[in-house]
Chain A
Amino acid sequence: MEVVQIFWPFLLFVIMLFIIGIYCIAITFNLIRALLGAEILIKAITLLVIVAGFISGRTALAQAVVISLIVVEAVSITVAVGIVLGIHGHNNSLDTRKIADTDK
């Protein structure tokens, strides 16, 4: 089977996942929901790497990259969640419109 025939359906779904993730981050005012949007974007990247590895026949390398990506994802989400909790403790809200101006 031709490369494009295998790759294109997956790429189509990756693009749509990207649209959902970017829309979620751009439209929401809730900090936790923004993190969920970032998670959706990371899932799209993971899917893209796995499909690229499958098509090129280098699944081992793709898996190594994905495992590194998952570690980075888990750590960054943990730290981001800690920051969100700190902001909530400070402002008593997760709404970005109600967060105190940091320039002051």
Chain B
Amino acid sequence: MNLNIAILIILMVAALWTTMTRSLLRAAIGLAFMSLALTLIMFRLNSGLAAVFELSVCAGLIPVLFVSTISLTHPLTKQEVMQHMKDRIRRFWYLPLIIVIAGIALSFITVTLNIKLPPKEAEESVRAVLWNGRPLYLVGQIIVLLAGAFGVVILFKESEEK
């Protein structure tokens, strides 16, 4: 349990880093670290397959997407950077304060959740759940992937025409 808390704290620090760092590139790297910490939590909570997906897609593919987007947009001039820095400090310095206060306040709350857990069943494998129990999830995933592919094609087709 203590190791879980340590990993959760790393996750929180990575999230704060992602939000507060000035450089977008560093923010994308912070996002990858967040996914890495979440992967460790998933492995520790017996969710190995989802952890592998998280590691490959969220810690691998999505930061690469962000980095390529950042490299395709023009960097700010030195004057703009200085202006943005002052602006950012003014807007973002509240966040760590809010998080610390929220964390302390929430940790003092004694919760009485009346959760009724379902009866224990024989654990199925993820494959069995996805293919036999919830085939519509797969259909939905295929539709979403196709919609995304068509969306990207349409977006770049328009920009070529321009």
Q: Given A72-B144, A76-B148, are A64 and B69 neighbors across the interface (CB < 8 Å)?
A: no
Interface size on B, residues (CB 8 A): 78
Do the beta carbons of A16 and B103 come within 8 Å of each other?
A: yes
Is the pair B46, A59 in contact by a Cβ cutoff of 8 Å?
yes
Q: Which of A3, A9, A53, A63 contacts B8 (CB 8 A)?
A: A9
| Complex contacts, A56 vs chain B, CB 8 Å | 117-118
Check B41 against A19 for contact (C-beta < 8 Å).
no
B111–A4 touching, CB < 8 Å: yes
CB contact between B159 and one of A13, A53, A86 (< 8 Å): that residue: A86
B49 CB contact (under 8 Å) in A32, A63, A82: A63
Q: What residues on B are CB-neighbors of A30 within 8 Å?
A: 24
Task: Verify B11–A70 contact, CB threshold 8 A.
Answer: no
Contact flag A46-B70 (CB < 8 Å), given A24-B19, A60-B125, A64-B129: no
- Residue B78, interface by CB 8 Å: no
Q: In the complex, which residues of chain A have a beta carbon less than 8 angstroms from the beta carbon of B140?
A: 68
Contact check, A46 vs B54: say whether CB atoms are below 8 A apart.
yes
Q: Are the C-beta atoms of B144 and A71 separated by less than 8 Å? A: yes
Closest CB-CB distance, A18 to chain B, in whole Å?
Answer: 10
A78-104 contacts to B, CB under 8 A, are 78-79, 81-86, 88-89, 92, 94
Interface residues of A (CB under 8 A from B): 3-4, 6-10, 12-13, 15-17, 19-21, 23-24, 27-28, 30, 32-33, 35-37, 39-40, 43, 46-47, 50-51, 53-68, 70-79, 81-86, 88-89, 92, 94
Residues of chain B touching chain A, judged by Cβ–Cβ distance below 8 Å, are 1, 4-5, 8, 11-12, 15-16, 18-19, 24, 27-28, 31, 34-35, 38, 41-42, 45-47, 49-50, 53-54, 57-58, 61-62, 65-66, 69-70, 72-74, 91-92, 94-95, 98-99, 102-103, 106-107, 111-113, 115, 117-118, 120-121, 123-126, 128-130, 133-134, 137, 140-141, 144-145, 147-148, 151-152, 155-156, 158-159, 162
Given contacts A36-B27, A67-B53, A75-B148, 13 further A-B pairs with CB under 8 A are A12-B107, A20-B15, A33-B24, A54-B45, A54-B46, A57-B121, A63-B129, A64-B134, A71-B141, A75-B144, A78-B65, A78-B152, A85-B155
